[in-house]
Amino acid sequence: AQSVTQPDIHITVSEGASLELRCNYSYGATPYLFWYVQSPGQGLQLLLKYFSGDTLVQGIKGFEAEFKRSQSSFNLRKPSVHWSDAAEYFCAVGSSGNQFYFGTGTSLTVIP
Amino acid sequence: DGGITQSPKYLFRKEGQNVTLSCEQNLNHDAMYWYRQDPGQGLRLIYYSQIVNDFQKGDIAEGYSVSREKKESFPLTVTSAQKNPTAFYLCASSMVGGRQPQHFGDGTRLSIL
């Protein structure tokens, strides 16, 4: 069965520090992988997506993610975090049947 | 601009009452979805539809109903059978195909009076 695990419920980083949010997936075939960001009281915004090809994908707002098949991971990274990056981040895997499976999210706090 | 519009933003339900959440999209997407979001539980799929006049139950469909009479619209009714309806409800849409990203509305927060 498809599933997504985000091991970190909450992460706190200092502004300007680097960030890595972890995502592990379980999927039988080649996965379609996504990262979304959600600000309080808002919907989800797509940060980036991976289907195939280059395993390092670039997204909006300076985010990138690396697909590692051997580790079943798709971790999100940013070299230097800004205060405006504080939000909830969701990893998701898309199935051929059009359903998405979301992780439970990682809440990011940025301290000055 | 194309997008997904959910209304109302806040909704209050009385005991024994059915309420309907609206979701409209002008992205020309075939697939539409309803999710329920509770703190610490991520997004759980309620219903989804890949074509007009057809829809499937998701993981937590009990106490909810939907219709898909138009491509642009996918309203969700929270019935009185849903005993714990307080949550944040998100509507999404996408082109058909697992590699197509889902696009989300800004949500409706439902509370019990």
Q: Within an 8 Å CB–CB cutoff, is residue B27 touching chain A? A: no
Is B23 an 8 Å CB contact of chain A?
no
DSSP of B70-83 = BTTB--EEE-TT-S
Note the pLDDT tens digit of each residue in B19-40.
Answer: 999 999 999 999 999 999 998 7
CB atoms within 10 A of CB A44: 29
B105 touches chain A (CB under 8 A): yes
Whether cis (ω within 30° of 0) applies to the bond prior to B8 is yes
Could A98 and B97 be called an inter-chain contact, meaning their C-beta atoms sit closer than 8 Å?
Answer: yes
The pLDDT tens digits for A3-25 are 899 999 999 999 999 999 999 99
R_g over Cα of chain A:
13
Q: What is the pLDDT of residue B99?
A: 81
A53 lies within 8 A of chain B by CB: no
Give the distance from residue B108's alpha carbon to the nearest chain A alpha carbon, in angstroms: 9
CA–CA separation, A98 and A92 (whole Å)? 12
Q: What one-letter code names the amino acid at B3? A: G
